[in-house]
Amino acid sequence: MGRILLVGRLAVRDLRRRRVEAVLLLLAIMAATTTLTLGLVLRDVANDPYQSTRAATDGPDVVAGAGLIPGGDRPAELSGLEELAGAPGVVDHSGPYPVTPAELQASGRTSDVQVVGRDAAPAPVDQPEVTQGAWVSDGGVVVESAFAHALDVRVGDPVTLGGRSFEVVGVAVTAAVAPYPETSCLVAVGCASGATPEELSGLPPGLLKNPGLVWLTQADARSLSPDPGSLSYVMNLKLADPAEAQAFAVANARENRGALRLESWVDIREEATESAADAQILLLIGAWLLGLLAVASVSVLVGGRMADQTRRVGLLKAVGGTPSLVAAVLLAEYVLVAVVAAAAGLAVGSLTAPLLAEAGAGLIGRAGTPPMTMSTVVSVTAVALGVAVVATFVPAVRAARSSTVGALAGSARPPRRTGWLIAISARLPVPLLLGLRVAARRPRRVVLSVVSIAVTVSGIYVALILDAFLAADPLAAGVDQAQAEWLRQVLLVVMVIMFSLAAVNAVFITWATVLDNRRSSALARALGATPGEVSAALAAAQVLPALVGAVLGVFPGGFALFHAVNAITGGDGDRATLPPLWQLLGVVSATVLVVAALTAVPARLGGRRPVSETLQAELA
């Protein structure tokens, strides 16, 4: 117990002594834990608006459709649908309602729609909640809210449906189908949602392309269909136990041998929160990339601190601390920071998730604070601890194994010798000669620098593809304009956090390099190198790995990450356009320039340290 207390006390005191570093460590790990929390809880939070809509509209537990087979036996299918109303477990229903495909023209735009005929009187199951205007009446059309928003249609606007004029009398939300553009297909001709313009042009005629949903009176809906026998039907069922909805849908679809289409509220909710699922994937991928960046940040910070803590380690060992105690003290500091970062990430992620999961136009109600499940807490804490332990384990063990006398003398870890690089550098101009040698002294730091930049550039590569895809044709991505904008914002947030962490890494690594090279920089100056040459060398030691990292970040990094994203999401990578060469060259050049700018100040400070003072300090 006393040993644990001692380890805790030493760790806390050292953290207090180095508050700025502790805060930077905390922020680096927190960036990863917050993003991971957001990714894990976003879907739960995004469910809230659907649940609100379901409650407000007496949403169905199962939606059953009939007449979906071209040339099918309509009377038999309709009769099968009506029989479902009396199936075991069904406590209430509405419909069957007729559904017909049509073309809608409004505000100079044309779109395919599915027209559902409804009664003017309220239905016991699925009574769409009117958010503007009124419910259906003869000659009056009610437009699904997300579709109305995408089409910019308002109450009072004239529209043409199947060549006939109607007036928009209302805008409503429903939980019986997913909001536009994810709308379920209720008609026999079939629907194509989420297709690119090229793909749409190749589809058979008659197929509804990205259809919206509108409601008319049953009489108006029937009048739009030239042949009453071609109508499809939809019925909304309420079950005694909503949790049994999926099992009910599967069992009855099987019983009717595919003549009926049954969709549970759980499936509809999945479709309704599709954009949140996309955002969740972006956040989770971002979280893993940020986790890698955080490992690089913490490794550099820990490496820098270890160099600084050599004497402290020697002192601990001299007064009887065993190697395991020394390692435990060093690990405890970072584990403590990681635990705080995990708690903070969980709190910040949970509180900001509702802001990211705002209800789309097709749903009502707001997202609430997500429930904190054990799996979320364990996942986030494990990532935070993983980052801390991976980054500190090797330096801690190395410190624990160091010689007590050497540590007490404060001798720094000897630099590495890379003979071939030293030989090559002799042929280069002075800044590159010194810069390559500076880089070669600490190969592990160079690797961290390359990884940090490569991870960031891979993220940029994928972000460029996704952003272009969302901007060019949101419907092909299965989202409307507003959702596409929202996803692009999520992408931007993740990228900004990644940029920030990568920038912090670049500055950390440069500063660690400056500190580590105090003596050799002073010596180079004593031998005749100018401050400018030494500064340029310190900057070159960062810029050269940045160039390598940026190139690797494009290929294979970004290329592999994009295909990994596709594999995880089941997406079709061929539909996205890879960034053009000029854009990739721009990313590589911009990365190098940004790293050069970020390292300029620390490198300049490092190149101008007083020579005499630094060389004299060796004797102290």
Partner 1 sequence: MSDAADMSVLRARGLRKDYGKGEGLVRAVDGVDLDVRAGETVAVTGPSGCGKSTLLHLLGGLDRPSGGEVSLNGRRIDDIGERALARMRRTDVGFVFQAFHLMEELTAVENVELSALLAGRSPRAARRRAEELLEQVGLADRAGFLPSALSGGQRQRVAVARALSNEPSVVLADEPTGNLDSAATLDVLNLFENLHTSGQTLVVVTHDARIAATADRMLSMRDGVLVDETRLTGGTTGRLGALVGLED
Residue numbers at the binding site for partner 1 (CB under 8 A): 414-418, 422, 426-427, 430, 433, 437, 440-441, 519-520, 523-533, 608, 610-612, 615-616, 618-619
Tokens representing 293 are: 């960046």
Three-state SS for 232-268 is EEEEEEEECCHHHHHHHHHHHHHHCCCCCEEEEHHHH
Burial 62-101 (b: 16+ CB within 10 A, else e): bbbbbbbeeeeebeebbebbbebbebebbebbbbbbbbbb
Q: What is the nearest approach in angstroms of partner 1 to the Cβ of residue 477?
A: 53
User: Quick one: 532 or 586, whose CB is closer to partner 1?
Assistant: 532
Residue with smaller CB distance to partner 1, 368 or 406:
406
Contacts of 581 (CB under 8 A, 6+ apart): none
| CB 610, min distance to partner 1, A | 7
Q: Which is nearer to partner 1, 368 or 410 (CB)?
A: 410
CB of 333 to partner 1, least distance (A): 29
User: Which two three-digit tokens encode residue 432?
Assistant: 């590159």
CB of 600 to partner 1, least distance (A): 17
Q: Which is nearer to partner 1, 74 or 442 (CB)?
A: 442
Cα 502 to Cα 444: distance, rounded to the nearest angstrom: 17
- Pick the closer one to partner 1 by CB: 306 or 432: 432
The distance of closest approach from Cβ of residue 26 to partner 1 in the complex, given in angstroms and rounded to an integer, is 35
Q: Which of 190, 335, 213 is nearest to 272 (CA)?
A: 213
Residues 6+ apart with CB under 8 A from 286: 35, 39, 459, 494, 495, 497, 498
Query: Which is nearer to partner 1, 17 or 417 (by Cβ)?
Result: 417
**One-letter identity of residue 425:** S
Rounded Cα distance between 433 and 544, Å, is 12
Query: Which residue, 19 or 427, has its beta carbon nearer to partner 1?
Result: 427
Enter the tokens of residue 299. 């490794």
d(CA 307, CA 379): 32
CA neighbours closer than 13 Å in the CB half-sphere of residue 422 = 6
C-alpha–C-alpha distance, residues 260 and 604, integer Å: 74
For residue 312, the minimal CB distance to partner 1 (Å) is 23
CB of 409 to partner 1, least distance (A): 12
- How far apart CA 194 and CA 480 sit, in angstroms, is 10
Minimum CB distance to partner 1, residue 413 (Å): 10
Q: Which is nearer to partner 1, 262 or 438 (CB)?
A: 438
